[in-house]
């Protein structure tokens, strides 16, 4: 398939902090960061927690989110002309989920280990919906490979929900086999994502290397920063896990969808979410395999 032109308007002013047209920090990052900060502050005030530490932790969470958002924009812009961009970004943005999986496995808690990647399978479609609304491309998003996208999102969410209804050991083996086979089939049936013509602008290809390193570093600090803030604010762990942690680990997917949709890469944006959901199943399956082996 021939490359298609890159949909980019060089005269369109960037919204937020930008370098060479690449938005590293946008107003929406600040809004979401302030909401997270307010969540922990209110929790600390209601439950007699440590307000200064809660504010410190909330500020650190905002910094992590900004690092994630900026890294994603650099990765997308530097790799914008490669084929399969949506698939590549879908893999890269699962770094925070992988970190949470490792933390859970080290604590010998398979439920906690699998909860973040599998929980993201419910949050990711919402991120795609939100990105479509923000960019005004919602109609295009849901007209592109509708059946394949719907089947992939529904199946990956269903497998995630089934996992938490299982009893340990033997049913885990059945789920492991089913999730591996079904996710592999879904991955092979994903839509094609053509390359786009490189217009010669933007960031050089090598810029993706430090951006990936920054993204991994931000993901590394995500769990300890949230844990620190949760302890200081006395926020309920279940509430944090469902609303805060799930939203934060899915933030890379949201930012990548925004960047791709604004560049006219609708198929890439959809693939970013569907491949991310499939990868979450692979992460959880790997966690189950390690758990059973040990």
Radius of gyration over alpha carbons of the chain, in Å?
Answer: 19
Quick: pLDDT tens for 54-63.
888 888 877 8
Q: Which residue has the higher pLDDT, 163 or 16?
A: 163
How do 17-19 and 22-25 pair as beta strands? Answer: antiparallel
User: Distance between CA 2 and CA 162 in Å, rounded?
Assistant: 41
The closest alpha carbon to 254, from 102, 81, 73, belongs to: 73
User: Distance between CA 4 and CA 57 in Å, rounded?
Assistant: 44
The closest alpha carbon to 280, from 191, 160, 129, 165, belongs to: 160
Q: What is the mean pLDDT of residues 8-34?
A: 58
Q: What was the pLDDT predicted at 154?
A: 95
CB 97 within 8 A of CB 283: yes
Q: Which residue has the higher pLDDT, 8 or 27?
A: 27
Q: What is the mean pLDDT of residues 278-290?
A: 93
Mean confidence (pLDDT) of the chain: 79
Q: Which residue has the higher pLDDT, 231 or 104?
A: 231
CA 275 to chain centre: 11
User: Distance between CA 121 and CA 127 in Å, rounded?
Assistant: 10
User: Distance between CA 235 and CA 39 in Å, rounded?
Assistant: 9
- Phi first, then psi: give them for residue 264, nearest 5 degrees: 80, 15
pLDDT greater than 50 at residue 6: no
Terminal Cα-to-Cα distance of the chain (whole angstroms): 46
pLDDT greater than 90 at residue 82: no
Q: What was the pLDDT predicted at 3?
A: 41
Residue with tokens 């890439």: 268
pLDDT greater than 60 at residue 278: yes
Q: What was the pLDDT predicted at 240?
A: 64
Other beta carbons within 10 angstroms of residue 141's beta carbon come to 22
């Amino acid at each position: 398939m021939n490359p298609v032109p890159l949909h980019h308007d060089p005269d369109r002013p960037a919204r937020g902090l930008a370098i060479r047209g690449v938005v590293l920090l946008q107003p929406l990052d600040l809004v979401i960061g302030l909401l997270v900060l307010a969540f922990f502050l209110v929790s600390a005030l209601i439950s007699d927690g440590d307000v200064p530490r809660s504010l410190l932790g909330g500020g650190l969470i905002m910094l992590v989110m900004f690092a994630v958002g900026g890294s994603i924009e650099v990765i997308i812009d530097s790799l914008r002309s490669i084929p399969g961009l949506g698939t590549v970004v879908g893999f890269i943005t699962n770094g925070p989920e992988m970190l949470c999986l490792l933390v859970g496995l080290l604590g010998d808690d398979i439920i906690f280990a699998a909860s973040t990647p599998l929980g993201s399978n419910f949050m990711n479609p919402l991120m795609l919906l939100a990105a479509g609304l923000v960019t005004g491309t919602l109609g295009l998003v849901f007209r592109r490979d509708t059946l394949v996208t719907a089947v992939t999102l529904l199946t990956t969410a269903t497998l995630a929900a089934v996992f938490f209804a299982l009893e340990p050991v033997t049913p885990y083996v059945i789920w492991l086999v089913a999730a591996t086979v079904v996710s592999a089939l879904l991955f092979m049936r994903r839509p094609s994502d053509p390359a786009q013509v490189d217009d010669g602008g933007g960031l050089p290809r090598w810029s993706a290397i430090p951006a990936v390193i920054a993204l991994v570093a931000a993901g590394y600090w995500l769990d300890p920063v949230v844990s620190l803030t949760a302890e200081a604010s006395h926020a309920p762990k279940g509430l944090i896990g469902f609303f805060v942690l799930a939203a934060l680990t899915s933030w890379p997917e949201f930012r990548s969808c925004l960047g791709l949709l604004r560049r006219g890469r609708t198929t890439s944006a959809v693939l970013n979410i569907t491949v991310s959901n499939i990868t979450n199943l692979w992460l959880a399956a790997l966690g189950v395999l390690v758990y059973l082996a040990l």
